[in-house]
Amino acid sequence: MAADGVFDEKTSPNPLVEEGQAVNHSGGKEKRHEGRQDADDLERRGTRASSNLEYSVFSTGVKRYIVVCSSCAGFFSPLSSQIYFPALNTLATDLNVSIGLINLTLTSYMIFQGIAPVFIGDFADKAGRRPAYFVCFVIYLGANIGLALQNSYAALFVLRCLQSAGSSTTIALSAGVVADVATVAERGSYMGFVTAGSLLGPALGPVIGGLLSQYLGWRSIFWFLVIIAATWLVQFLFFYPETARKVVGNGSIPPPTWNMSLSSYLKARKIPKEDLIAAEEMQDSTSRKLSFPNPLPTLAIVFQKDTSLLLISNSIMFAGFYDVAVAITSIYQTIYGLTDLQIGLCYLPFGAGAALAALVNGQFLDYNYRRIAIRLGVPVVRNRHTDLKNFPIEKARLQMAFPLIGGAICLVIAFGWCVDFETHLAAPTVITFFLGFCLTSSFNTVSTLLIDLYPDTAATATAANNITRCLLGAGATAVLEPMLNAMGRGWCYTFIAFVMASTTPLLLLLIRYGPRWREERRLRQDETETQNLHHVISH
Q: What is the pLDDT of residues 459-479, one digit of tens each?
A: 778 778 878 887 787 788 778
* Closest alpha carbon to 110 in 436, 464, 472: 472
| pLDDT tens-place values along the chain, 539 residues long | 333 333 333 333 333 333 333 334 444 444 444 444 444 443 334 333 445 678 888 888 888 899 889 888 888 988 888 787 777 778 888 888 887 788 778 778 878 877 888 877 778 877 888 999 999 999 999 999 999 999 889 999 999 999 998 888 888 788 888 888 888 888 887 887 777 677 677 778 878 888 888 888 889 999 999 999 999 999 999 999 988 888 888 887 778 888 888 877 777 676 666 655 555 555 444 445 555 566 777 778 888 888 889 989 988 988 888 888 778 877 888 888 887 778 778 888 887 888 788 778 888 888 888 898 888 887 776 666 666 777 888 898 898 889 999 999 999 999 999 999 999 999 999 999 999 899 888 888 888 888 888 877 777 787 788 788 877 877 887 788 889 889 999 999 999 999 999 999 999 999 999 888 888 888 887 777 677 676 667 66
Following CA atoms 406, 409, 413, 419 in sequence, which dihedral angle do they give, to the nearest 10 degrees? 120
Q: What percentage of the chain carries pLDDT values higher than 70? A: 81
Residues 136-176: pLDDT tens digits? 999 999 999 999 999 889 999 999 999 998 888 888 788 88
The domain limits of the chain are 47-254+295-380+389-538
**Residue 405: CB partners within 8 Å, gap ≥ 6?**
317, 438, 442, 500, 501, 503, 504, 507
Residues 241-266: pLDDT tens digits? 988 888 888 887 778 888 888 877 77
- pLDDT the model gives residue 384: 67
Residue 10, judged by CB atoms within 10 A of its CB (0-12, 13-18, 19+), counts as: exposed
- pLDDT the model gives residue 286: 42
**47-254+295-380+389-538: CATH architecture:** Up-down Bundle (1.20)
Residue 220, judged by CB atoms within 10 A of its CB (0-12, 13-18, 19+), counts as: middle
Q: ∠ CA(122), CA(128), CA(130), 5° rounding?
A: 120
- pLDDT the model gives residue 146: 95
- pLDDT the model gives residue 139: 94
β-pair partners for 29: none
- pLDDT the model gives residue 298: 77
**Residue 8: CB partners within 8 Å, gap ≥ 6?**
1, 2, 18, 61
- How far from chain centre, in Å, is Cα 314? 13
Residue 195 half-sphere exposure toward CB, CA atoms < 13 A: 36
- pLDDT the model gives residue 536: 64
* Closest alpha carbon to 498 in 421, 428, 413: 413
Residues 476-490: pLDDT tens digits? 877 888 898 899 999
